[in-house]
Each structure stands twice: as C-alpha cells, then as structure tokens.
C-alpha cells in the first residue's frame, strides 16, 4: 500500500532506489580508570590531531570536487576540535583521573544537551556539530575505522537518523540516489553538503525510520520534501518520468554555459557570482560570469584562528582580481558579528546579536582590523577592477567615515611606496530599513548600491532569517519588501548610480520581472544559480516584466503577490 512521509525538502531532485538503513554504531565500552595521566593526556591530544587532520583532508577533497563554501563546513569542524576552551575542560577531567573517552563524552554531552533543548534552530544545529565532533574523536580513541560510505550499492536510498559530516562527505553520488534523515534540518551542514553533491534529500521525517526494514523501493522527492513507499509499478514509471524531466531541466541549462545574459529582446544584464573563496570563482567561471558581485570575505576570517594579515588578504584579493581579467570584483568588507562570530575576536555578549555589533558596525569598532582589510583591498585594486562594498549600512555617516579611512590608508600606502589602483568605487549594501529610507541621500555619496534582500527581508519584516517560528513572516514577496526594493532602485536611478541585487531574491525566477521592471540590470547569485538565472532572464521582455510588476505593486498581501508571480512564472 502506498505511503507518503512528509518532511522538508533539503536538496532538490528525485531519487528512486532501494532503501538502505544506516545506523551509526554505539560508541561505548571504555574503561573507567586510567593508569598514567600523562599518557592519557597524550592519547587525547593525538586523537585531536588525527581528527583535525582527517577533517582537513576531507575538506580538501571536497573543495576540489564540489566547492569551497561547502568545504568550509568541514574545515570549521577541524577548527572546533582544536578549540582551546574545550581542550582545557577535557584535560582537566583527565588530570582528575577520567579516561579520555569519558572526559570527552562528559564535556560534549553538557553542550549537546543544552544546545539540543534550545528553541533556536541554529543552536540545535550546533548540538549536531558537537555530537559529530565527539563521535569522531571517540572513534579514534576506541580504534574504530572512520565512517566510509563510499562503496554503497548502486541506486541506494540512504535512510538514517542523522549523518555525520564524515559520512556525508564520503558518499558517492553515482551510487546514492537519495537521502532521508529523520532528524536534521534544512540548513544543517548535512543538507548543505547533500545539495552540493546534487543528491536529492528530505530531512525531518521522524516516522520513516521506524517504518522501514531495508530493501524497500522508495522515491525521494527532495524538491517537495516527500518520501513515497509501496508504489505500484505504474506509479513508479510515472516517478521515473518526473525524474527524467528534472534531469532534462538541469541539462537544458547547459546551453546557457558561457553565454551572455540578456532579456528576450536583447537588453543585456550583468550576471555576477556570489563567492566565498577563490575556488568558487573557478567554478563560477565555468558557467561564464560578468564579474563577482559579492565576495563574502568573512569566510576567510572564519576559517582561521587569527586575523588574516594584510599580506594574506592582499594575495587572495589580488589573485581573484587577476583571474577575473578586468571584470569587476566586488569585495564586501568583513560582515561578521550576528551569527558569524570570529573565534579570536572578543564579541560583546548581546541579547539580540542580529541587531547588535555586526557588519560595518563591528569594523568601525575594530578599526585596526578594518584598516588592515582596507589596505589589502586598496593594494589589490592596482591589479584589477576592484570595488568595495559595505555591509549593514544604516547612515550616511558610516559611509563618510569609511571614505575618510580609505583616504588615510591610501596616503599611508603612497608614503610606503605600495601601489594602489587610481579608482576604488565604494558601494553600500542596502539591507536595512534605515538604508531604504535614506537611499536618496546615500545615492549622492555611494558609487553603487547592492540590495541584500536576505537581510533586507529580515529587518523590514522584523523576522529573524534563521528562526523557523517566524518563517511565515520572512518572505521577499511581502509587499513591504517589494516596495522597498522598488524605492531603492528608484533612488539609485535618480542618483545616477547602478543598483545590483546580491541577496537570494536575485536568483528567484519568480522575482525576476519585478527586478527587471524596477531597473535592476545587475544580479549576483551563487554559482549554482548562474545558469537558471541566465535562462530565466532570457524568457522575459522588459514590456512583459513591466506589466507583471505594475500589477504586483497594486497587491496588498504576501499571498497575493506570491500567487500573482507564480501565475506568471516562466521557467
Ligand atoms: C543579504 O543580506 O542579502 C546578503 C547578500 O548578505 P548575507 O546573506 O551574507 O548577509
Ligand atoms: Mg546581509
């Protein structure tokens, strides 16, 4: 009999195959006493070294095969294993007579239990990360082999409670056609890696694990978030067709590789990439890009345990600028704070970190660190078409303050005989309500705007972008957000400066007629969204876009706007 289990679509596509149930082995059975404290401490330290080296090796493999942003997830696990606070606590317990396994288990359990009980999804996800770390270290201490799922049979639908990062990163997409996790969330690290591997995945389906014994034929619809079981042969044929359609769609995008981006009547659009590292540029360049519209420089800061030096930053920026061969490289200055904490920086304890010291505020507070980045950017501007962009701007003052710092850094560099480009366009991200209201004034002093629709939606709607409790409010289709974007584009037009969109809405095909109609001619999207966006742009003429946008602006509710854009969608 047919059964459907509903969860959350975590990686799009359809997979049809046989169920294989995977359970992580119980990690237990260590002794309760130790003989030699020094030896025990060394055993623990050696396990940490081994774990960190394995995570780093996995990250490198993943970076080559898939992409740097995803590899960062694996790297951050290596960094977490080396966390000095955790090490100190565990070592204290060992000194007090606990074996390494028990000390590790005790300490991690405290974190896991308190994070897992949190109502915040971000913290619950952190519990999964700590569990992953503990299990990985325990395996090494207990002499168990590393999880390796690289040799599963062809057409496997992998069902598990949750998967460790080591397990997901070892999967071979040629064999695994679908993943179903009874726990885990859409923004879990597992889900991100599954998307990167293009394996359809559904998460958050508690019932499914118990209902299966293995060997059943299952369909995983990672787009809708459904798992279908007990299907008749006829139905299976239908699902096979759906799977082909999805693949055809994916394949149809290939004709857009390396092409220019323009509307149906030939109006050109600048299509750029959002990147987090040098490798992302390489991937994006395979599809053809007009530049980089957003380099999230914070990844470089997050993947180290110290501030990257001026020289280190300069080298990275310079290499990317050169690789782009005259096409723009838009460097966003450090956007840390909020949920992006740097382990080596003292972030203030904040009740509402998203409304706290993040983005440009943090940079202006940590001026020495900021100057280092400004100098590196200025130096890189001698080697390409570099632009600088400031996150979380709320006032004209901030922009003026940065301009003054840039001028000072330029003078310093000139005195030191270090070359800079003659011109460094300075743009602002429009992602706060204050910036929307001030857009006309900001447009007089900024060289360009880039709309960060992710944060703009969060702040306009007063809905935390990671809080699933208020996910219903967090929508860029809301008339409040649509009107904000229109106002921003109008202010840019009046001020005679270009306006780009670099938030997720820029890659949403439903949103495209709005952006085209408002006059946005520059979109910056993740590498995976480049081809779908190029294809979507080619489906619209400006006249048609104006007609759809005019009606959308008359609508009063989020539902109406979404339904209207759905009705007019062109894929
Ligand atoms: C945004 O807020 O839309 C944006 C592009 O920045 P981030 O997602 O990095 O905050
Ligand atoms: Mg943002």
The closest residue, in CA terms, to atom 6 on ligand 1 is 452
Ligand with an atom nearest the CA of residue 393: 2
The C-alpha atoms of residue 390 and residue 425 are separated, in whole angstroms, by 11
pLDDT score of 121: 57
The C-alpha atoms of residue 81 and residue 84 are separated, in whole angstroms, by 9
Residues of the chain with confidence (pLDDT) below 70: 67-69, 118-123, 185-187, 279, 283
**Ligand 1 mutation pick, 334, 452, 465, max ligand atoms within 8 A of CB:** 452
**Ligand 1 mutation pick, 332, 334, 391, max ligand atoms within 8 A of CB:** 391
Q: Is the dihedral of CA 203, 206, 210, 216 positive or negative?
A: negative
The C-alpha atoms of residue 480 and residue 469 are separated, in whole angstroms, by 20
Classify residue 418 as exposed, middle or buried by CB count within 10 Å of its CB (0-12, 13-18, 19+): middle
Read off the pLDDT of residues 136-193 as tens digits, 9 standing for 90 and up.
999 999 998 888 899 999 999 999 988 888 888 889 889 999 999 987 766 577 887 8
pLDDT score of 118: 66
pLDDT score of 466: 80
Q: What share of the chain is helix, strand, coil (3-state, %, to 5)?
A: 50, 15, 35
**Ligand 1 mutation pick, 277, 335, 427, max ligand atoms within 8 A of CB:** 335
pLDDT score of 331: 98
Letter string b/e over residues 465-503, b meaning 16 or more CB atoms within 10 A of that residue's CB:
bbbeeeeebbbbbbbbbbebbbbbbbbbeebebbbbbbb
The C-alpha atoms of residue 358 and residue 339 are separated, in whole angstroms, by 9
CA-closest candidate to residue 329, choices 371, 366, 382 = 382
- How is residue 325 annotated by DSSP? T
Altogether, the residues listed in the chain come to a count of 571
Distance 503 CA to ligand 1 centre (A): 5
Distance 110 CA to ligand 1 centre (A): 33
Distance 79 CA to ligand 2 centre (A): 24
Beta strands in 175-269 (DSSP E): 176-181, 201-203, 217-221, 226-229
Distance 460 CA to ligand 1 centre (A): 14
Distance 532 CA to ligand 2 centre (A): 22
Work out the number of other CB atoms within 10 angstroms of the CB of residue 395.
Answer: 15
Report the nearest atom of ligand 1 relative to the CA of 451.
3
pLDDT score of 275: 92
pLDDT score of 123: 66
The closest residue, in CA terms, to atom 8 on ligand 1 is 454
CB atoms within 5 A of ion ligand 2 belong to 431, 452, 455
Residues forming the active site: 189, 502
Report the nearest atom of ligand 1 relative to the CA of 504.
3
CB 451 within 8 A of CB 502: yes
Distance 452 CA to ligand 2 centre (A): 5
Q: Can you list the alpha helix ranges (DSSP code H) found in 197-232?
A: 206-211
CB 190 within 8 A of CB 52: no
Distance 431 CA to ligand 1 centre (A): 8
The closest residue, in CA terms, to atom 3 on ligand 1 is 452
The C-alpha atoms of residue 163 and residue 180 are separated, in whole angstroms, by 10
pLDDT score of 120: 55
Angle at the Cα of 346 (from 345 to 352), degrees rounded to 5? 110
The closest residue, in CA terms, to atom 1 on ligand 1 is 452
pLDDT score of 452: 98
Beta strands in 277-432 (DSSP E): 292-296, 329-332, 386-390, 426-430
Provide the 3-class DSSP secondary structure of residue 62: helix
Residue 295 C-beta-side C-alpha neighbours within 13 Å? 26
Report the nearest atom of ligand 1 relative to the CA of 458.
2
**Ligand 1 mutation pick, 429, 505, 515, max ligand atoms within 8 A of CB:** 429
Report the nearest atom of ligand 1 relative to the CA of 503.
3
Ligand 1 surroundings by CB, under 6 angstroms:
294, 296, 335, 431, 452-455, 502-503
Ligand with an atom nearest the CA of residue 69: 1
Report the nearest atom of ligand 1 relative to the CA of 505.
3
Angle of the 68-81 helix axis to the 37-65 helix axis, nearest 10: 180
């Amino acid at each position: 009999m047919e059964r459907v289990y509903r969860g959350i679509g975590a990686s799009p596509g359809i997979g049809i195959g046989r169920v294989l149930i995977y359970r992580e082995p119980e990690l237990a059975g260590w002794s309760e006493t130790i003989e030699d404290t020094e030896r025990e401490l060394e055993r623990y330290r050696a396990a940490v070294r081994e774990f960190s080296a394995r995570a780093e090796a996995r990250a490198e493999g993943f970076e080559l095969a898939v992409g740097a942003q995803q590899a960062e997830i694996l790297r951050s696990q290596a960094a977490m294993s080396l966390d000095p606070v955790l090490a100190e606590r565990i070592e204290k317990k060992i000194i007090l007579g606990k074996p390494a396994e028990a000390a590790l288990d005790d300490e991690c359990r405290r974190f896991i239990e308190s994070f897992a009980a949190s109502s915040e999804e971000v913290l619950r996800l952190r519990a999964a990360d700590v569990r992953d770390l503990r299990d990985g270290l325990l395996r090494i201490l207990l002499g168990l082999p590393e999880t390796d799922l690289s040799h599963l049979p062809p057409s496997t639908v992998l069902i598990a409670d949750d998967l460790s990062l080591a397990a997901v990163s070892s999967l071979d997409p040629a064999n695994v056609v679908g993943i179903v996790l009874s726990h885990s969330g859409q923004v879990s690290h597992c889900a991100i890696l599954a998307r990167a591997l293009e394996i359809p995945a559904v998460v958050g389906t508690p019932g499914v694990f118990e209902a299966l014994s293995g060997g059943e034929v299952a369909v995983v619809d990672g787009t809708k978030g459904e798992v279908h079981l007990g299907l008749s042969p006829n139905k299976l044929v239908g699902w096979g067709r759906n799977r082909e359609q999805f693949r055809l769609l994916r394949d149809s995008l290939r004709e857009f590789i390396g092409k220019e981006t323009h509307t149906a009547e030939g109006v050109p659009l600048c299509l750029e990439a959002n990147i987090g590292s040098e490798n992302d540029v390489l991937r994006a360049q395979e599809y053809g890009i007009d530049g980089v519209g957003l380099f999230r420089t914070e990844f470089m800061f997050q993947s180290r345990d110290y501030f990257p030096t001026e020289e280190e930053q300069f080298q990275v920026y310079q290499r990317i600028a050169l690789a782009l061969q005259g096409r723009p490289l838009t460097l966003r200055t450090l956007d840390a704070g909020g949920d992006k904490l740097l382990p080596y920086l003292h972030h203030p304890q904040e009740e509402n970190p998203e409304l706290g010291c993040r983005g440009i505020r943090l940079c202006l507070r940590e001026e020495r660190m900021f100057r280092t980045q400004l100098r590196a950017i200025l130096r890189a501007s001698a080697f390409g078409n570099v632009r600088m962009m400031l996150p979380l701007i709320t006032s004209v003052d901030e922009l003026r303050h940065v301009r003054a710092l840039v001028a000072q850094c330029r003078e310093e560099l000139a005195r030191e005989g270090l070359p800079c480009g003659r011109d460094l366009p300075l743009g602002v991200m429009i992602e706060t309500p204050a910036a929307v209201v001030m857009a006309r004034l900001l447009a007089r002093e900024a060289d360009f705007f880039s709309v960060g629709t992710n944060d703009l939606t969060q702040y306009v709607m007063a809905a935390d972008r990671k809080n699933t409790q208020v996910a219903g409010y967090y929508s860029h289709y809301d008339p409040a957000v649509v009107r904000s974007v229109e106002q921003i584009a109008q202010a840019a037009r009046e001020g005679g400066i270009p306006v780009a969109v670099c938030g997720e809405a820029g890659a949403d095909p439903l949103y495209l007629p709005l952006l085209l109609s408002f006059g946005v001619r520059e979109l910056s999207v993740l590498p995976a969204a480049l081809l779908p966006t190029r294809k979507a742009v080619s489906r619209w003429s400006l006249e048609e876009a104006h007609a759809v946008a005019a009606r959308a602006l008359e609508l009063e509710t989020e539902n109406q706007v979404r339904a209207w854009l759905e009705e007019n969608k062109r894929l």
